[in-house]
Amino acid sequence: MDASTLRAKLDAEHYIYDDSLITTLLVALQLGRPLLIEGAAGVGKTEIAKVMAAALDRELVRLQCYEGLDESKALYAGEFESMRSMFLLLGGALSFIVGLVGVLNFFNAILTGILARKRELAVLQSIGMTGKQLKTMLVYEGLFYALGAAAISLALTLILGPAAFTAVGNLFWFFTYRLTLVPFLVVIPIFALLGILVPLGVYRSVARHTIVERLREAET
């Protein structure tokens, strides 16, 4: 890269420079050596790194230096940062699978509970319990299971989260732990909706048969 090409690239990034900076940058590029820049805050030290990364079409890696940081730790942190997208993808896929299994187990528990109590529900209706009352009871049960599971999950997160952070922090010194309740608040309405719709759907399927048919089927 010559001086005119470098000037054109800096102009394209709208960076203000002088001839001494062009010379310094060219020497650093030709020698393949790092360039140490000193100056007061706001003079453009970080900006020149951003501009050069864009001009050379390379990734900009910002490393915050502090006491105790050595080359091995810096490289370790850099490798971990490059793997973050993979961890996010795997974590998202694992969360989706666990959530799907939980929803299927919830549906199976509700379905099995209603089918196992088919005769009991038919007897309740035969002695005067209306379909509306029966559906209300099943909805309350579904909400109890759904919201109860959510409450237990939150309690386990609050209890085991710090312990898990301590274990992971011993492996990755740069690991930080932050508890956020946003995903939990998003999932709660979904679980509540499932607690209402799943029992109603299963009951509607069971209620297609008359009370007498359900009592006879349960006896056989």
Same-domain check for residues 94 and 15:
no
Q: Is residue 175 part of a domain?
A: yes
Same-domain check for residues 203 and 128:
yes
Same-domain check for residues 117 and 193:
yes
Tokens 């470098």 correspond to what residue?
Answer: 6
Same-domain check for residues 198 and 91:
yes
pLDDT tens for each residue of 90-117: 878 888 898 888 888 888 888 888 778 8
Q: Is residue 99 part of a domain?
A: yes
Same-domain check for residues 191 and 86:
yes
Q: Is residue 144 part of a domain?
A: yes
Q: How confident is the model at residue 64 (pLDDT cuts 50, 70, 90)?
A: low
Residue 106 near residue 198, CB atoms below 8 Å: yes
Instruction: Look up residue 44 and give its DSSP letter.
Output: S
pLDDT tens for each residue of 16-47: 778 888 888 888 888 888 777 777 777 777 88
How far is 172 from 188, CA to CA, in rounded Å?
A: 32
pTM for the full predicted model: 0.53
Q: Is residue 94 part of a domain?
A: yes
Residue 15: is its pLDDT beyond 80? no
